[in-house]
């Protein structure tokens, strides 16, 4: 099969099948072989790997994954793309096309079917890696779903909007730092592999993109006593990021602690009562969450 990673072949396949790009599914197909090869290298894809690809489109990235990996499961929501994928991937016997919404797919069960997980777990015969050019409109729900379900992947390598990549990798203090930075850095070690211009896609997106690789921790290095409280606190801290932490958390209904408890916890941490969320590192948010957990819930 000829590779689809250029504009000419992509447009030929799309028009042969009378396919109309659907904006609502975030369909921007890659036409840049260099970007694909560097993403595969960053993910370290090899013949022991089972790859879950989210949103294969017409199968451009999938072709390279099939050649480099042991097995590929490609989850695509758009049923109009399924006959195209069956055609463009027909020479590979190691790929399974799943016509489903990834947000409704049980990835833990799928990983178990392939006996795939982290290489350092005795139950895993194959390393599980996630590689995708993500549909940008659901980047955060997809990433949070992977993290919170504890999908046993070693790494997640994804194309996202550059602005989102900046937020994922941001350090405390800057304008990009927020609840996404904290969640991503709590579950993984992220790094930006490459900035990708709109010309690398058909049709061209309005935004610049970036490939990000996240090496997932088997166990986060520092863990809060209560995961859900930690996530609720980080969300509340940045929902109104210009407020002080005391006001932002104290007035948020998903954080069951009053302003006095929050002030007291900050004091124990040696932080000013007027500190804002953007100044705290992920570890400090964990400590804050643990201190609040061990204090009295607000009763008012």
Q: What angle do CA 129, 73, 122 make, to 5 degrees?
A: 45
Closer to ligand SAM by Cβ: residue 29 or 70: 29
**Whole-number minimum distance, CB 168 to ligand SAM, in Å?**
17
SS3 19: coil
Contacting residue, 13, 14, 27, 43, with ligand SAM by CB under 6 A:
27
Q: Is 88 in the site for ligand SAM (CB under 6 A)?
A: no
Q: Is 78 in the site for ligand SAM (CB under 6 A)?
A: yes
Strands 49-54 and 126-133: parallel
E strand spans, 170-235: 188-196, 201-202, 209-216
Contacting residue, 117, 135, 190, 224, with ligand SAM by CB under 6 A:
135
The region that residue 190 occupies, defined by phi over 0 for left and psi between -120 and 50 for alpha, beta otherwise, is beta
Q: Is 209 in the site for ligand SAM (CB under 6 A)?
A: no
Exposed/middle/buried for 18, CB within 10 Å: 0-12, 13-18, 19+?
exposed
For ligand SAM, the binding residues in 242-281 under the rule CB under 6 A are none
Q: Is 89 in the site for ligand SAM (CB under 6 A)?
A: no
Q: Is 157 in the site for ligand SAM (CB under 6 A)?
A: no
Contacting residue, 69, 84, 95, 102, with ligand SAM by CB under 6 A:
102
SS3 58: coil
Count of chain residues binding ligand SAM (CB under 6 A) = 23
Stretches 19-27, 39-47, 188-196, 229-237: which one binds ligand SAM (CB under 6 A)?
Answer: 19-27
Alpha-carbon span 111 to 132, nearest angstrom: 16
Contacting residue, 63, 133, 139, 234, with ligand SAM by CB under 6 A:
133
Distances (CA, A) of 192 to 197, 214, 262: 14, 9, 35
Contacting residue, 13, 26, 49, 257, with ligand SAM by CB under 6 A:
26
Task: Calculate the CA 140 to chain-centre distance.
Answer: 6
Residues found near ligand SAM in the complex (CB under 6 A) = 25-30, 54-57, 60-61, 75-78, 81, 101-103, 133, 135, 138
């Amino acid at each position: 099969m000829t590779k689809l990673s250029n504009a000419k072949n992509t447009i030929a396949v799309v028009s042969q099948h009378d396919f109309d790009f659907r904006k609502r599914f975030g369909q921007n197909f890659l036409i840049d072989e260099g970007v694909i090869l560097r993403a595969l290298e960053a993910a370290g894809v090899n013949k022991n790997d089972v790859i879950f690809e989210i949103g294969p489109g017409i199968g451009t990235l999938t072709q390279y994954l099939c050649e480099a990996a042991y097995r590929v499961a490609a989850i695509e929501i758009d049923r109009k793309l399924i006959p195209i994928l069956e055609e463009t991937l027909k020479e590979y016997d190691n790929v399974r096309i799943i016509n489903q919404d990834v947000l409704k797919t049980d990835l833990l069960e799928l990983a178990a079917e392939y006996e795939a997980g982290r290489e350092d777990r005795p139950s895993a015969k194959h390393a599980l890696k996630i590689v995708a050019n993500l549909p940008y409109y659901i980047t955060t729900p997809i990433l949070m779903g992977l993290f919170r379900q504890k999908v046993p992947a070693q790494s997640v390598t994804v194309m996202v909007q550059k602005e989102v990549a900046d937020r994922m990798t941001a350090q405390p203090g800057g304008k990009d730092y927020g609840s996404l930075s904290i969640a991503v850095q709590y579950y993984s070690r992220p790094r930006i592999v490459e900035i990708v211009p709109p010309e690398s896609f058909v049709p061209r997106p309005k935004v610049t993109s970036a490939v990000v690789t996240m090496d997932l921790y088997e166990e986060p290095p520092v863990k809060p006593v209560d995961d859900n409280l930690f996530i609720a606190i980080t969300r509340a801290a940045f929902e109104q990021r210009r407020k002080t932490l005391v006001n932002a958390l104290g007035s948020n209904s998903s954080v069951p602690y009053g302003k006095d408890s929050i002030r007291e916890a900050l004091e124990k941490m040696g932080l000013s009562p007027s500190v804002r969320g953007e100044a705290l590192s992920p570890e400090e948010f964990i400590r804050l969450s643990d201190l609040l957990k061990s204090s009295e819930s607000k009763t008012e």
